[in-house]
């Protein structure tokens, strides 16, 4: 009995229709759905774009940073090489300078020693052969022009006596004027005229030989006052 009443009650309940929508309401709903979908799509697109851009930016930054690093490293390496080359050149120059100074000092000492040895040898030769000084005098006079007759001969006092004795035996040389000069090394002489000077001293003759040996071809015998 109760079941029948329930069925009847259900049958008697009125049917409610959903409210009808107007055209404006439908358009608003469609616009709202479109706006929400657009906003969501925009948000997702921006997020994706930022992510992609960040990845691409990082990649480009790495490439650019690598290239700039290589360029900077190359520049620094070249600068370091130039600095090392300059230091090496300066080092070699500093090493060669003492040798150059040493060569010059040794050369001067050798010249001084050679002159001292030559003096001793000439003195010994003159003592053993007094007539040798006349050969030196004749060689010095031979450098002068043939027309020269009057001349002054400067000799060491010992050599001067030997030459005077020799000239006394030779009348053609009586026009020579002999001057004793103790500062001259024995075995050498100087000959002067009105226009010429012949330096035949031991020092001058030996210097000429040394200059030739060292590569200096100058061999001055006659000086013009």
pLDDT tens digits, 118-163: 667 766 766 667 678 888 888 888 888 776 668 899 999 988 988 8
The answer to whether residue 26 scores a pLDDT higher than 60 is yes
Q: Which two tokens stand for residue 104?
A: 């010059």
Between 88 and 158, the higher pLDDT residue: 158
Between 203 and 54, the higher pLDDT residue: 203
**On the CB side of 197, how many CA atoms lie within 13 Å of its CA?**
8
Domain map (residue ranges) of the chain: 109-223
pLDDT 10s digits, 165-188: 887 756 555 678 899 999 998 888
Q: Which residues contact 210 (CB under 8 A, 6 or more apart)?
A: 111, 114
Orientation of helix 23-128 relative to helix 202-213, angle to 10° = 140
d(CA 120, CA 133): 15
Give the model's pLDDT for residue 21. Answer: 58
For 167, phi then psi, to 5°, come to -70, -30
Beta strands in the chain (DSSP E): 151-155, 176-180, 189-192, 197-200, 222-223
- For the entire predicted model, the pTM comes to 0.45
Decide the pairing of beta strands 151-155 and 176-180.
Answer: parallel
Looking at the structure, give the CATH architecture of the domain made up of residues 109-223: 2-Layer Sandwich (3.30)
């Amino acid at each position: 009995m109760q079941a029948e009443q329930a069925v009847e009650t259900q049958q008697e309940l009125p049917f409610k229709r959903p409210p009808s929508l107007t055209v404006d309401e439908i358009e608003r709903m469609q616009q709202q759905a479109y706006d929400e979908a657009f906003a969501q799509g925009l948000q997702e697109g921006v997020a994706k774009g930022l992510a992609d851009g960040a990845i691409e930016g990082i990649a480009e930054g790495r490439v650019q940073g690598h290239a700039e690093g290589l360029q900077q490293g190359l520049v620094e390496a070249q600068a370091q090489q130039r600095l090392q080359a300059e230091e090496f050149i300066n080092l070699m120059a500093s090493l060669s300078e003492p040798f150059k100074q040493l060569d010059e000092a040794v050369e001067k000492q050798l010249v001084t020693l050679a002159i001292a040895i030559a003096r001793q040898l000439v003195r010994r030769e003159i003592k053993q052969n007094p007539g040798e000084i006349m050969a030196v005098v004749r060689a010095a006079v031979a450098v002068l022009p043939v027309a020269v007759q009057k001349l002054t001969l400067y000799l060491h006092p010992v050599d001067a006596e030997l030459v005077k004795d020799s000239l006394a035996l030779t009348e053609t040389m009586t026009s020579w004027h002999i001057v004793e000069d103790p500062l001259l090394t024995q075995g050498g002489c100087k000959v002067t005229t009105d226009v010429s000077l012949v330096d035949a001293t031991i020092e001058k003759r030996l210097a000429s030989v040394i200059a030739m040996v060292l590569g200096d071809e100058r061999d001055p015998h006659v000086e013009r006052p």
